[in-house]
Structure 1
Amino acid sequence: MLDRRNMLKTLGAGAAGGLTLAGAAEAEAALTAQASEALGPYARPWSPPNDKDPHAQNIVALSDDYFVPGRFAGKTVIVTGCARGMGRMAAIRLAREGANVVGVDWLADEGRAVIDGIRRDGGKAVFVPGDVSENAVCDRMVATAVDQYGGLDAALNNAGVMDAIYPGDPIDYDKQKSLIMARIDQASDDYWDVVMRVNATGVFRCLRAELRQMMKQNRGGAIVNVASVAGLRGFGGTPSYVASKHAVNGLTKNAAIDYAPYGIRVNSVCMANTATPMVERAMQILRERARATGEGGGIGMIKTKSLLQYSDQHARDSTPAEQVAVMLFLLSPESSNLTGANYATDGGFTTY
């Protein structure tokens, strides 16, 4: 498979030496072929076969290497929560598709490493450290987009938490139990306040800074807020997360109404179980809580899998690449007729 960094170096050297249009077209065709190779079949048979249903198939996950060449060429996109998981994948893929990326995260070392990696591979990106629930950070990320790249075209408001433990800290249940998810009668103010501040207030403040700049530019734009199936239905034992993600979906609809006349589209995505470090941490916390208290998930754990998980031989979670594919579609001009929707990117979780 061709390496994008080497391809970009070839194009740059060719341009300096008078690369012909035919040569540029050939290079772009090779890059497109690279992206196409990353698309596999829709599904593959169970292996070994399902004795009860010999026709059973596993959905093939989208490759991490898939991208659409040139889709965001010349556009500047903010990605919050760029250090890990879906935010990391989105930042990398946006850069591969030609975007100028402004990555934001309070995990400064990890976030900066992602952005440095993009730049080493020939992409354009800059990092802004900080907590998106702080106005100064939101204002700075937008100012950076303007100063570095001349404006702001789109934003992925992805930063979020499930508990009040700083993501860079190791899990120590006995010392941190007041900071983890719990039923309302057991939940602390610290748990409630941190999750609501980052997830709900953070999205509000990001939106406000982004929309102010887009209004000033008067050329439209697109914003995607990352919510959750927890913003479409209830989940036991996670009151602040559920409330905050309902707030994200409400903010999405509110913004879509107010800014449609100005050519600014706003949507949200609502995933179920996705293989990210945040979900892995949450599962670890729940295991630690069960060990310490002897309590299971109770009625809140009656349903934990999506349709596609139940149908898959290994009950796999969705992948960051699968989620990011929808996010980037909604950020791109391809989705020109879509706004104000809370998309259930959940493998059928909310369907059945």
Structure 2
Amino acid sequence: MNRRNMLKNTTLATLGASAGLACANESNKSEILSSPTQEKGIGKKDVAPINPDYFIPNRFKNKTIIVTGCARGMGAAAIKRVAREGANVIGVDWLKEEGSAVIDEIIKEGGSAKFVYGDVSTNETSKEMVKVAVDSYGKLDYAINNAGVMDAIFPGDPIDYEKQKHLTFSRCHEATDEYWDVVMRVNTTGVFKCMREELKQMVAQNQGGAIVNVASVAGLRGFSGTPSYVASKHAVNGLTKNAAIDYAEFGIRINSVCMANTATPMVERAYKLVTAKVKASKGDAGMGTIKTKSLLQYTDSNHRDATPEEQVAVMLFLLSDEASNITGANYATDGGFTSY
């Protein structure tokens, strides 16, 4: 069964993640679990995604880069590519086995990589990742603060909606403290604490640097059904602008990226959660189906999501010397979602 057609008329259009914005097609509520033929896009020519194996040799040679949320999705794609481009990398994640496996893969390919296991919203983890970078490679040049969550269910746990529904995305009058607190803690406090430690080191080095924070299109506009996520990603974009002002004099550039629909494991899991939520609520989707696709997704013949590699390409550009005049920007890497 086509996963998109499973989720018709749901609030999934509202659920931007660190990994992007999951979306569903519009249809009648009675068709939530049906699988009719997928409507084709209206475009005359599809935009081909970047080759996932593409990289720029030696672009980050001898640079040291921290990537949080390295176990899956955009974080995994980012840390693998910067390693291929010559960087020494430190991956951070609370998914220990998956995060370690990504680092092991980099090392097997000849890259230089270290893994830090932990929760980015704790002082211990944010301090440890910078310490590992400095102890292992002598400095910290760049960072991608990518780690984030859509709900309060631990990403490594299997889905059991009836037991976990108090931890999932909900409208304000239905939302629990647990949902609100975890999403805000990981997405907003996590970015703040990671930036705080990264910036301490970069200021002490006096060699400049660059940071990219992974926000979301949900940090540029509102979406229904996910108050904590929207608030947290607006906060990430605000932190980005604030830090860009404070650290420009130190030669440190700080930007964020704001993706829409991106194909990641986090988004795939959200499809399953929303399917369960819509079934339990008998198809009540609220306001979530008013707008569900970006410009590029709407016109694409298969309504494809952005790929992690498409998002990573912009992140690495913003770290690179080619972006020497860019700071304080909240880049809409959203396929035109906010343009219409």
| Larger RCO, structure (CA 8 Å, separation 6 or more) | 2
1:114 alignment partner in structure 2: 102
Superposition deviation, residue 295 in structure 1: 3.2
| 1:167 equivalenced with 2:155 (yes/no) | yes
2:9 alignment partner in structure 1: none
Q: 1:349 to 1:52 in 2, by over 3 A?
A: closer
1:284 alignment partner in structure 2: 272
CA distance in 2, matches of 1:292, 1:66: 43
Deviations 1:290-341 (A, max 9, x none): 1112133221221111000001000000000000000000011110000000
1:179 alignment partner in structure 2: 167
| 1:201 equivalenced with 2:201 (yes/no) | no
2:250 alignment partner in structure 1: 262
Q: TM-score, normalised by structure 2?
A: 0.87
| 1:320 equivalenced with 2:308 (yes/no) | yes
Superposition deviation, residue 270 in structure 1: 0.1
- SS of the aligned residue for 1:147 comes to helix
1:341 alignment partner in structure 2: 329
Given candidates 287, 293, 313, the residue that maps to 1:299 is: 287
2:49 and 2:310 in contact (8 A); partners too: yes
CA distance in 1, matches of 2:61, 2:173: 51
1:236 and 1:301 in contact (8 A); partners too: no
Provide structure 2 residue ranges, at least 5 long, that are not aligned to the other structure. 1-38
- SS of the aligned residue for 1:170 comes to coil
Q: TM-score, normalised by structure 1?
A: 0.84
Percent of residue pairs identical: 68
CA distance in 2, matches of 1:52, 1:115: 38
| 1:102 equivalenced with 2:109 (yes/no) | no
Amino acid across the alignment from 1:205: K
Deviations 1:236-282 (A, max 9, x none): 00000000000000000000000000000000000001000111111
1:158 alignment partner in structure 2: 146
CA distance in 2, matches of 1:51, 1:238: 28
1:42-53 matches, within 5 Å, as none
Q: 1:151 to 1:173 in 2, by over 3 A?
A: same
Amino acid across the alignment from 1:98: G
Q: Which runs of 4+ in 1 moved over 4 A?
A: 50-53
1:30 alignment partner in structure 2: none
1:98 and 1:123 in contact (8 A); partners too: yes
1:61 and 1:319 in contact (8 A); partners too: yes
2:11 alignment partner in structure 1: none
CA distance in 2, matches of 1:334, 1:154: 14
2:255 and 2:318 in contact (8 A); partners too: yes
| 1:75 equivalenced with 2:63 (yes/no) | yes
- SS of the aligned residue for 1:350 comes to helix
Provide structure 1 residue ranges, at least 5 long, that are not aligned to the other structure. 1-49
2:68 and 2:144 in contact (8 A); partners too: yes
Amino acid across the alignment from 1:146: V
